[in-house]
Structure 1
């Protein structure tokens, strides 16, 4: 029962679409009608409002972090990991938006930081390094996804490895179109309005 409650908690917290809420509140309309149509921080940045993009990034990360920490406090470590994955699922497939949400990168960062701070920092460092080197946000996200389960495995923690692999799989799934564009060499770089 505790795992079910943790999953419900994580999903509901993760499904709050901060990018959509903030852009509408700022009078910028529906974020889903521009750029990639995504509700995440990268697409919010395409509005030209860096402050809103930063706020979206922070809030999307916090909702994952908070979901995991509450579940850990209430039901223990296994429930915490379930809540973390559920928060990612909520962000990617929010019931309020017809199950069409974001790609989960910021929420995943928050979840990883809450699960094991060092693993979150490793993933963030890889994302930042690759994204800055390539000027392609999705390349950084996918590189971080690839590294996180490996880093968890090297730590000897099997549950953490499965958890990181589940997050990575979900993010990779949500980036299918990005992966196709990366392979084709057509993935937009920072400063463009497509993708």
Structure 2
């Protein structure tokens, strides 16, 4: 059982990376503003770029999505490792 838990711990790392790599700014930019954030302005896809180009509402959605990605990664890691740390 000890070995299986170690593998789950190793699985939690790439899973968290995969969840965090979801480009929420790019998705919101395309859905709400029909813009490709990579070709507009300085080419960076960040929450600040969404705020500057699209306004407060899309910015708030991106921030909530980014917070949700972090929370989801933590929940997934806890579920896989059965640990509170």
Deviations 1:77-113 (A, max 9, x none): 3xx76xxxxxxxxxxxxxxxxxxxxxxxxxxxxxxxx
What does 1:37-186 correspond to in 2, within 5 Å? 37-77=43-83
Q: TM-score, normalised by structure 1?
A: 0.37
Equivalent residue, structure 2, for 1:19: 25
Name segments (4+ residues, structure 1) moved above 6 Å: none
Q: Whole-Å Cα distance in 1 between the matches of residues 70 and 41 of structure 2?
A: 25
Q: How many residues align?
A: 79
Asked if the contact 1:18/1:56 (under 8 Å) is kept, the reply is: yes
Match of 2:26, SS state, is: helix
Contact 1:13 1:63 in 2 (8 A): yes
Please give the secondary structure, in 1, of the residue aligned with 2:53.
coil
Paired with 2:47 and 2:39, the residues of 1 have a C-alpha distance of 14
Greater relative CO, 1 or 2 (CA 8 Å, sep 6+): 2
What's the RMSD between the two structures over aligned residues? 1.9
Q: Answer whether contact 2:38 2:44 (CA < 8 A) is retained.
A: yes
* Structure with greater Cα Rg: 2
Are the structure 2 counterparts of residues 3 and 74 from structure 1 closer, same or farther at C-alpha, using a change threshold of 3 Å? closer
Paired with 1:27 and 1:44, the residues of 2 have a C-alpha distance of: 10
Cα gap change, 1:49 to 1:40, in 2 (>3 Å): same
- What displacement does 1:2 show? 1.6
